[in-house]
């Protein structure tokens, strides 16, 4: 694994089937070519939404062709099925597609332009604008068949509609990342943190994917195999990425670099998409040193698309993965303090950080003490860049069900702690005390992921596709 290149992620597979009623084609010979042109443009635009592969099964005209398309899409294993209603078509043409695929369904009704030219249009020209006509029929049939769906209506080059379509595509990509993901869990629970404790079966049951239980010794043997040349190369990489504070001790820096190389091998050997870890250790023995030396490597991994969270916080590493796959970063975060003069909530964390959201070149700071943890070494420090941000936590209810909790705010300038943490001052547009009470009552746990941009609309789509309750915390000024 090289430098800071992102670890290749599984592409999002989007199935596309377009259709119309075959009875029209002999009646209106120019209609089908026009509709196929629109379908080709939709396929082209879908291909431009991030890292996706479009499985285009072509144009269907009757229920038999719909059944054949359904089988092709079932075999493809898509993350999202898009049914393009180009004109009127019967529900029997798309219900099998939705039933057999097992993937979320998005119906799109995109007419050729913003409006018809009523003076010149005949029946055939009107039918090209008639994609809205079957939408209520599809919706009713899908509901009766027990198939969840959502829809977007607009016109082919309607940027508002494409914003909504892209939101569902990205959400399907996140769902796919969770369903196919391999999530490492290494070490043991931070003693006493009852909210962090996670039933591993519940991850696979509610989100999909696999949790790989790792021993700290799985890391130890890989770190012990790291050569001096590899350590020197990793230190050189770190110098190019970070500014080194004068508090950094060369021996601790070298140890962090060695652990970083070992972490890379661990992730590669177990094909991990995320990692949560903690090990307490004792009196400077090797396992304590490993746990204390992970911050540099975990931050580099997080920057490369493999989120790593400390304190054994598996659900937080999953929240970080969700934010990362939305392109928002996602850094390990908790509350620090409240500022009632500036009306901001100060938050951050020691340990791994997502370098993509830093407002400046991140700093490596040497720490003789990790608060609440044993050991010493180098830690990452930066302030989150100013502007809109979103928090995402993955809470767990009394019945074991997960809930996605989010809040949107704005990072604003001001004084920050210089203690080897990622930190930010977030303005939620209300009294910070009231916001903190509402956030704490939401079901979120001790940690969450902080990402850039306002992502609540995207996260709401993710929650719907996964099947989780979504709670957005807002407090009136």
How many angstroms separate the CA atoms of 253 and 237, rounded? 12
Note whether 45 and 98 are same-domain residues. yes
Of 411, 440, 273, 442, the closest CA to residue 347 belongs to: 411
Of 184, 367, 331, 327, the closest CA to residue 264 belongs to: 184
Q: Is 197 helix (H, G, I), strand (E, B) or coil?
A: coil
How many angstroms separate the CA atoms of 276 and 197, rounded? 12
Please give the average per-residue pLDDT across 430-454, as a whole number.
96
Note whether 174 and 290 are same-domain residues. no
Note whether 169 and 187 are same-domain residues. no
Neighbouring residues of 163: CB distance < 8 A, sequence distance ≥ 6: none
Please give the average per-residue pLDDT across 455-464, as a whole number.
98
How many angstroms separate the CA atoms of 139 and 150, rounded? 9
Q: Is 86 helix (H, G, I), strand (E, B) or coil?
A: coil
How many angstroms separate the CA atoms of 391 and 455, rounded? 9
Query: What is the reported pLDDT for 179?
Result: 96
Give 98-116 pLDDT, tens digit per residue. 999 889 999 999 999 999 9
Of 178, 206, 224, the domain-final residue: 178
Note whether 371 and 393 are same-domain residues. yes
Phi, psi of 423, rounded to the nearest 5 degrees: -140, 155
Q: Is the pLDDT of residue 194 over 90?
A: no
- Work out the mean pLDDT of the chain and round it to a whole number: 94
For residue 94, give the CATH number of its domain: 3.40.50.10940
Inter-CA distances, 81 with 57, 64, 138, 219, 288, Å: 11, 18, 14, 40, 48
Q: Is the pLDDT of residue 159 over 60?
A: yes
How many angstroms separate the CA atoms of 312 and 318, rounded? 12
Q: How far is CA 201 from the centre of its chain?
A: 21
Note whether 142 and 46 are same-domain residues. yes
Tokens linked to 322 = 């969700």
Note whether 205 and 160 are same-domain residues. no
Of 178, 211, 246, the domain-final residue: 178
How many angstroms separate the CA atoms of 415 and 425, rounded? 8
Give 270-314 pLDDT, tens digit per residue. 999 999 999 888 887 899 899 889 999 999 999 999 999 988 999
Query: Cβ–Cβ contacts within 10 Å for residue 418, how many?
Result: 12
4 assigned to some structural domain: no
Query: What is the reported pLDDT for 368?
Result: 65
Domain count, the chain: 2
3 assigned to some structural domain: no
How many angstroms separate the CA atoms of 73 and 68, rounded? 9
In sequence order, what are the beta bridge partners of 346? Answer: 337, 425
Of residues 454 and 374, more confidence is placed in 454
Query: What is the reported pLDDT for 423?
Result: 87
Of 178, 203, 235, the domain-final residue: 178
Please give the average per-residue pLDDT across 211-238, as a whole number.
97
For residue 241, give the CATH number of its domain: 3.20.14
How many angstroms separate the CA atoms of 405 and 392, rounded? 6
Give 251-275 pLDDT, tens digit per residue. 999 999 999 999 999 999 999 999 9
Please give the average per-residue pLDDT across 168-174, as a whole number.
98
Note whether 152 and 191 are same-domain residues. no
Output the DSSP codes for 113-149: SSS--TTT--HHHHHTT-TTTTHHHHHHHHHHHT---
User: Residue 4: which pLDDT band, with cuts at 50, 70 and 90?
Assistant: confident
User: Residue 2: which pLDDT band, with cuts at 50, 70 and 90?
Assistant: very low
User: Residue 474: which pLDDT band, with cuts at 50, 70 and 90?
Assistant: very high
> Tokens 């396992």 map to which residue?
287
The share of the chain scoring above pLDDT 90, in percent, equals 85
Query: What is the reported pLDDT for 282?
Result: 82
Give 64-99 pLDDT, tens digit per residue. 999 999 999 999 999 999 999 999 999 999 999 999
Note whether 225 and 147 are same-domain residues. no
Please give the average per-residue pLDDT across 335-343, as a whole number.
96
Query: What is the reported pLDDT for 372?
Result: 61
Note whether 321 and 340 are same-domain residues. yes
Note whether 65 and 160 are same-domain residues. yes
Of 146, 147, 70, the closest CA to residue 106 belongs to: 147
Query: What is the reported pLDDT for 371?
Result: 62
């Amino acid at each position: 694994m090289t430098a800071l290149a992102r670890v290749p992620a599984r592409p999002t597979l989007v199935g596309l089937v377009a259709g119309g009623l075959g009875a029209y084609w002999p009646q209106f010979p120019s209609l089908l070519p026009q509709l196929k042109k629109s379908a080709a443009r939709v396929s082209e635009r879908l291909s431009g939404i991030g890292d996706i592969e479009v499985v285009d099964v072509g144009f269907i005209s009757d229920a038999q062709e719909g059944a054949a398309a359904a089988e092709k899409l079932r075999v493809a294993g898509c993350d999202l099925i898009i049914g393009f209603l180009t004109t009127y078509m019967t529900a029997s043409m798309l219900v099998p597609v939705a039933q057999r695929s097992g993937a979320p369904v998005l119906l799109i009704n995109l007419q050729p332009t913003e409006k018809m030219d009523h003076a010149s249009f005949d029946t055939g020209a009107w039918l090209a604008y008639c994609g809205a006509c079957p939408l209520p029929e599809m919706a009713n049939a899908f509901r009766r068949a027990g198939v969840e769906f959502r829809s977007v209506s607009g016109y082919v080059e309607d940027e508002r509609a494409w914003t909504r379509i892209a939101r569902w595509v990205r959400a399907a990509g996140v769902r796919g990342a969770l369903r196919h993901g391999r999530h490492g869990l290494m070490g043991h629970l931070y003693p006493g943190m009852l909210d962090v404790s996670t039933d591993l079966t519940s991850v696979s049951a509610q989100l999909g994917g696999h949790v790989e239980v790792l021993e700290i010794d799985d890391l130890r043997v890989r770190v012990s195999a790291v050569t001096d040349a590899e350590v020197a190369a990793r230190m050189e990489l770190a110098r190019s990425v970070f500014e080194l504070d004068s508090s950094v001790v060369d021996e601790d820096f070298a140890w962090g670099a060695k652990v970083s190389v070992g972490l890379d091998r661990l992730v590669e050997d177990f094909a991990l998409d995320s990692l949560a870890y903690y090990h307490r250790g004792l009196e400077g023995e090797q396992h304590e040193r490993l746990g204390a030396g992970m911050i540099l490597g975990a931050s580099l991994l997080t920057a490369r698309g493999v989120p790593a969270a400390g304190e054994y916080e598996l659900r937080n590493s999953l929240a970080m993965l969700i934010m990362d796959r939305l392109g928002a970063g996602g850094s390990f975060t908790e509350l620090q303090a409240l500022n009632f003069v500036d009306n901001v909530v100060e938050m951050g964390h020691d340990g791994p950080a997502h370098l993509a959201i830093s407002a400046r070149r991140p700093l490596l700071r040497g720490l003789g003490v990790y608060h609440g943890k044993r050991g010493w070494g180098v830690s990452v420090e930066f302030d989150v860049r100013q502007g809109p941000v979103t928090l995402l936590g993955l809470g767990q209810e009394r019945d074991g069900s997960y809930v996605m909790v989010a809040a949107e705010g704005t990072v604003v300038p001001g004084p920050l702690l210089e203690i080897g943490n990622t930190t930010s001052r977030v303005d939620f547009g209300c009294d910070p005390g009231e916001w903190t009470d509402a956030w704490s009552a939401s079901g979120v746990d001790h940690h969450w992921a902080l990402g850039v941009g306002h992502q609540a609309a995207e996260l709401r789509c993710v929650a719907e596709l996964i099947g989780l309750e979504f709670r957005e915390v807002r407090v009136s000024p």
